[in-house]
Structure 1
Amino acid sequence: MARIKPQALLIQSKKKKGSTRVSLATIITCNILVILVLLSLYATYNHFYKRPTSQLGEELMNTENTKDGGAVKKFDLPGYAIIETSKGSITVELHKDSSPEFVDKFLDLCQKGYFKGMLFHRVIKHFFIQGGDPHYLRAAEGWTLQGKSNGQLSTSLNSPKHEAFMLGTSKTKPNAKGFEIFITTAPIPELNDKLNVFGQVIKGEEIVQEIEEVDTDEHYRPKSPVEIVNITLKHEP
């Protein structure tokens, strides 16, 4: 067999290498695929990690589940409030479905510590106990004292939402910065157009009655202060 010269071997090797070159079209195609993958990853990052906090919170609030036999429920907010007073604790169930606007405002104020140290500044037997910001004391003064003096203390249950031990706030100044709370101590249907009910006492009725029995002056102000020490929010009573 004839021997191949070294120079011929070198030429033959170069020809073989040349045949394995990657075409320009293949390179362009690969680069396009890489760019598309990077763009997809970037879009995914923006969608899941850079959404505004308010939008994320709204999505959580609207999250629904189909547990418990397919029942649909919104993301839970605290449904109970424990009003700690200098006389004892009062547990209130909040009406999140029927009075969401007032419950939301009440929850927000509680989280900010708004009611801490405030007093029950008006106590009227067989009517209600009233607490909250004393600067807005006159907001409901007219209709509360008028109702008391005229003896409008019906025991009828024509308006169950204003029965005894209901938690509400005044309708007199809906845009006021202050927020007063009333706990009724008797069925008072006359308050239909005066009081926004957003909760009901489920524990501590005896504490409400004890506050109702304190000595008051001629303006129904307790002679001995009854304080709201704090309000704690709970998901369960």
Structure 2
Amino acid sequence: MLKQLLLVLAFAVSPAFAADQAAAPAKPVTAPAPAKAAAKPAVKPADATKPTDASKSTGNPKVKFTTSLGNVTVELYPDKAPKTVENFLQYVKDGFYSGTVFHRVIPSFMVQGGGFSKDLQQKRTRAPIHNEANNGLSNLRGTLAMARTGDPHSASAQFFVNLVDNQRLDYVSETNWGYCVYGKVVAGMDVVDKMAAAPTGPQGPLPSDVPTTPIVIEKAELVK
């Protein structure tokens, strides 16, 4: 298991992986590896990824994460990533994220969570979903994207928030799928930045980047 995780890190593939639900628990996962310099944008950022005023109603669903560091609210884009949003909202409605942690934090890159318990046991997930990264949305600061492994269609429950503009993670082609953006932080980005400043190190099955003090998602709920 650890060997596979190190392999994933070495090849700079991504986060959330969903294993066969009737078989063994899902395998450890990682997010994309940080680059020394941002690549040229693969796709033109869509209007939906621009900063949003949380006080204005767009009609899009919003989810509030109550975390041990404060609250974070994300707006979702079902018109851009319908299957991804549907999948994410089902996990929210099922209470799946309650008690999970942000298990991978890399400053100036991203924070990742939604798959491991406080004792770093990976939770079982539903079947993986089709990658909808080819939707015109770009991995800009504050956007919410699905984590996956090297298989472009392996995302299940894990997600990450981009701390900076990471356009190199955008869709390029069917041989370079990138990571599906399906929402954006509209309140609490200061809390996400606090997560980014947390001390990290190796813990449990994960070789690095785990906050030494757990950053816990106490609750995730759909809000109006």
- TM-fit CA distance, 1:194: 3.0
Output the CA distance in 1 between the equivalents of 2:60 and 2:106.
30
Pick aligned residue for 2:162 from 160, 184, 194:
184
Unaligned runs of 5+ in 1: 1-75, 137-158
Report the equivalent of 1:103: 85
SS at match of 2:100: coil
TM-score, with length taken from structure 2: 0.57
TM-score, with length taken from structure 1: 0.54
SS at match of 1:201: strand
Output the CA distance in 2 between the equivalents of 1:191 and 1:217.
24
Query: Is it true that 1:112 corresponds to 2:94 in the alignment?
Result: yes
SS at match of 1:164: coil
User: Residues 104 and 162 of structure 1: is their aligned pair in 2 closer, same or farther, counting only changes over 3 Å?
Assistant: same
Output the CA distance in 2 between the equivalents of 1:175 and 1:196.
10
- The one-letter code sitting in structure 2 at the alignment partner of 1:191 is L
Query: Is it true that 1:222 corresponds to 2:211 in the alignment?
Result: yes
- The one-letter code sitting in structure 1 at the alignment partner of 2:91 is L
Output the CA distance in 2 between the equivalents of 1:217 and 1:191.
24
Pick aligned residue for 2:190 from 198, 202, 206:
206
Report the equivalent of 1:89: 71
- The aligned length equals 138
Query: Is it true that 1:168 corresponds to 2:145 in the alignment?
Result: yes
Once the two structures are superposed, the pairs formed by residues 1-237 of structure 1 within 5 Å of their partners are 79-134=61-116, 135=122, 161-172=138-149, 173=151, 178-192=156-170, 193-217=177-201, 219-235=208-224
Higher mean alpha-carbon deviation, 121-130 vs 166-175, is at: 166-175
- TM-fit CA distance, 1:128: 0.4
Q: Deviations over 1:18-59 (max 9, x none)?
A: xxxxxxxxxxxxxxxxxxxxxxxxxxxxxxxxxxxxxxxxxx
Contact 1:123 1:212 in 2 (8 A): yes
- TM-fit CA distance, 1:234: 1.8
Contact 2:146 2:155 in 1 (8 A): no
RMSD value, Cα: 2.3
- TM-fit CA distance, 1:78: 6.4
- TM-fit CA distance, 1:174: 6.2
- TM-fit CA distance, 1:132: 1.4
Output the CA distance in 2 between the equivalents of 1:234 and 1:208.
19
Q: Deviations over 1:65-96 (max 9, x none)?
A: xxxxxxxxxxx986100011100001111011
User: Residues 177 and 169 of structure 1: is their aligned pair in 2 closer, same or farther, counting only changes over 3 Å?
Assistant: closer
Give the number of the structure whose alpha-carbon radius of gyration is greater: 1
SS at match of 1:209: helix
The alignment-based identity, stated in percent, is 28
- The one-letter code sitting in structure 2 at the alignment partner of 1:232 is E
- The one-letter code sitting in structure 1 at the alignment partner of 2:167 is P
Output the CA distance in 2 between the equivalents of 1:119 and 1:171.
17
- TM-fit CA distance, 1:227: 0.3
Q: Deviations over 1:86-110 (max 9, x none)?
A: 0000111101100111000011110
User: Residues 86 and 179 of structure 1: is their aligned pair in 2 closer, same or farther, counting only changes over 3 Å?
Assistant: same
Contact 2:148 2:158 in 1 (8 A): no
Contact 2:80 2:182 in 1 (8 A): yes
Contact 1:120 1:226 in 2 (8 A): yes
- The one-letter code sitting in structure 2 at the alignment partner of 1:161 is S
SS at match of 1:93: strand
Output the CA distance in 2 between the equivalents of 1:83 and 1:103.
15
- The one-letter code sitting in structure 2 at the alignment partner of 1:231 is A
Flag the structure with higher strand content: 2
Contact 2:60 2:77 in 1 (8 A): no
- TM-fit CA distance, 1:217: 1.1
